[in-house]
Amino acid sequence: MTADRRFACTACGRCCTGWLPLTLGDALRHAGRFPLAVVWTPIRQGNAEFQAASRFGLTVRLPNRKTVAVRLMPTAYQPKSFPCPELTPAGLCGIHADKPARCRTMPFFPYREEVDQADLLIPRAGWACDTSEAAPVVYSGGRIVDRTDFDDEVASLKKDAMLLRMHAEVCLAANRDVLPALARAAGDGRGGGHLVTGFAALLPRLKSSIVADFVRAQVPVLQRYAALTQDDPEHRTYHRNYMDWLAELKPVLAATEAG
């Protein structure tokens, strides 16, 4: 039996940095705030996250004949040292009333089975989460006590899964570089490899009215982050990606404005 775990957020803001996985709805709604990408994460068989990744993503057979589950996450994609653009100087969330599902569900993670969440309640180094006896019990017997936000995020991920899976299958069929890139990510000895692709390839699968609003909101954000990472060797990959994605979106923006 899993011991009861206590946890409370102290609003220290220290988890509000770097990549933020999003539901598709959150990504579209916050396109004017975050630079967006799709992150593909191969999960090897035997990993505790394999089954959940299979449900929400897809399984892929690699050139070495091994099968991996691929987690597909729309993501607020910024350098891992960058704070969330909506984090206030006081360390508080500037969009608390409309913050993404991932922020509401933290520290729980729906890409894991519910019985495998206990270690997520151990604060990372530097985080000021409260796990003392004064904090409420949030996890008991391998079950999340107040599961409203967790269940809402799971429901959104299930809703997104078909579109994201279709997107991934088209990318795999149309771009012969994707499968080798996934194989390299799966072979990362640290077990944390990723493939990052632009959001533009998702747009043909969205309603045209959504696409127009998305592009108008996203282009200025990518321009801002491209400027922030320019001439910074540490963030060269981010800068290149932002510039590439701008090149993909600007013709769409021009067509939108012309129409």
Contacts of 228 (CB under 8 A, 6+ apart): 82
Question: Would you say residue 208 has pLDDT above 90?
Answer: no
DSSP 43: E
Average pLDDT, the chain: 93
CB 77 within 8 A of CB 228: no
Which residues sit opposite 20 in a β-bridge?
76
pLDDT level of residue 2 (50, 70, 90 thresholds): low
Distance of CA 9 to the CA centre of its chain: 21
Asked if residue 218 is part of any domain, the answer here is: no
Is residue 60 within a helix (H) or strand (E), and if so which, with residue range?
Answer: strand 58-61
Contacts of 75 (CB under 8 A, 6+ apart): 19, 20, 21, 22, 27, 36, 37, 38, 39, 196
Quick check: 218 and 249 in contact, CB under 8 A? yes
Give the pLDDT of residue 230.
96
How far apart CA 5 and CA 153 sit, in angstroms, is: 21
> Is 43 part of any domain?
yes
Does any domain span residue 187?
Answer: yes
pTM exceeds cut of 0.95: no
Q: How far apart are CA 228 and CA 257, in angstroms?
A: 26
The pLDDT, as a whole number, for residue 238 is 98
Say if 240 falls within a structural domain.
no
Residue 229 lies in a domain: no
Picking from 250, 233, 235, 249, the residue whose alpha carbon sits closest to that of residue 198 is 249
Q: Using CA atoms, how far apart are residues 219 and 221, in angstroms rounded to an integer?
A: 5
How many Å apart are CA 30 and CA 218, to the nearest integer?
A: 9
Range of the structural domain that residue 86 is part of: 5-198
Give the mean model confidence (pLDDT) for residues 18-46. Answer: 96
> Is 47 part of any domain?
yes
pLDDT tens per residue, range 95-116: 999 999 999 999 999 999 999 9
First and final CA of the chain: distance in angstroms? 61
Q: How confident is the model at residue 259 (pLDDT cuts 50, 70, 90)?
A: low
pLDDT for 26 equals 97
Location of structure tokens 């975050």: 34
Each residue of 153-186: pLDDT tens digit?
999 999 999 999 999 999 999 999 999 999 999 9
Euclidean distance between CA atoms 36 and 20, whole angstroms: 10
Per-residue pLDDT at 189 exceeds 50: no
Burial class from Cβ neighbours inside 10 Å (0-12, 13-18, 19+) for residue 225 reads: buried
Residue 211 belongs to a domain: no
Decide: helix, strand or coil at residue 195: strand
In whole angstroms, give the CA distance from residue 188 to residue 122: 25
Tens-digit pLDDT profile for residues 235-252: 999 999 999 999 999 888
In a domain, residue 150? The reply is yes
Q: How many domains does the chain have?
A: 1
Rounded CA gap, 49 and 110, in Å?
9
The torsion angle over the Cα atoms of residues 8, 10, 15 and 21, rounded to 10 degrees, is 50
